[in-house]
Amino acid sequence: ANSSTWAAQNPSCPIIHRRTTAARLSDAQKASRKIKKDQRTEIMKRLHDAIIRHLQEQKHAVELLSHAHHVTLKHINDMISNQPIGSRYTLTELREMIAEDPQMQNLMRDEKATYVAALSEHREQKVSNMRANNMAAVRDVLVTTERIVKELDELRVRTGTYGTLFVIHGHINDTIQSTMHGTDNSDDFWEDVYDLPMADFLRQYEQWACTQNQSNCSDGEKDIAMNYNNYDTAIVEMYAVRLVGWPTDVNFISPSNIGTVGEIWKLHDALKGRTCYWTVLMPAEVKAHTAKLNARHSAGEVVWHPRKKRSDAGKSRKR
């Protein structure tokens, strides 16, 4: 059986056929089309000139009305326009408006560049600017996720590919609903390989994401990544800072390794309420801390935990 393509593997399914190339035109057909095009161009030019004259006359009449009734031009133009509030013009209507606007004719190159730059900035802001509130963010995530899920499912049908999608919120105060999706039977992968349901990975991913960028301090020049294993030496002794008020019933470990949501909330509330905070140590305090570390080391206690050695240490790796 032929299995060289996804279409061949599914012979009973409809196929998206390739576009056929149009037949070449003869010289007579080309000449006929050119004559019709020239005629349409001349008709459109006469119509365009007539519209320009009409708009100029209308503009002059609106100015007379503005002076006579002591109202602004915008007020009169809004009354003339029949566009309902909140509706949008179509692309064809916008092109016609530009073609009929005398101020948009014969623009200089710099003027065109200014309009293009303003449009590009507007589009960039719509893509990269932050949502103003949680409700708008939830709506954005919902609409975008639905579109991605639909595209993944359709891609699966067309090409036979598998895909998995995790969408989770990045902060514990966000109201975005975490979701997951797998095309076809992708959900079975997690249980077959890791012996855990896909939902468990979603929960762990959510816990990890909510702890990112929450435990970094700064020395004024660069960010300092938190080191829980060697906190006393790599943080307190090195940078002369100390974390005060860590909840007593929460293990002093990376928040991504904290096992329960309740403990995460306790740590979150302590940090938000500033009962858990960073403080700068005086030189005498740092000296006393170092002395205690030396005493513990002399007593045989391990005060520095080396990082685990890579399993492929000493072997060349591709860059």
Instruction: Report how many helices (DSSP H) and strands (DSSP E) the chain contains, helices first.
Output: 11, 6
Torsional sign, CA 304, 309, 310, 315 = positive
pLDDT value of residue 314? 56
pLDDT value of residue 145? 94
| Highest-pLDDT range among 31-40, 225-234, 250-259 | 31-40
How does pLDDT run across 269-303, given as a tens digit for each residue?
A: 888 888 888 887 787 888 888 888 888 888 888 77
What rounded mean pLDDT belongs to the chain? 82
Where helices occur in 10-108 by DSSP H, the ranges are 27-69, 73-80, 91-100
Whether 215 shows a pLDDT value over 80: the answer reads no
The whole-number average pLDDT for the span 98-102 is 80
- Cα angle: 297, vertex 301, 302; to 5 degrees: 90
Which of 3 and 316 is assigned the larger pLDDT?
A: 3
pLDDT value of residue 83? 59
How does pLDDT run across 39-72, given as a tens digit for each residue?
A: 999 998 898 888 888 888 888 888 888 888 888 8
The whole-number average pLDDT for the span 96-119 is 84
Dihedral of CA atoms 112, 118, 124, 125 in degrees, nearest 10, equals -170
Whether 216 shows a pLDDT value over 50: the answer reads no
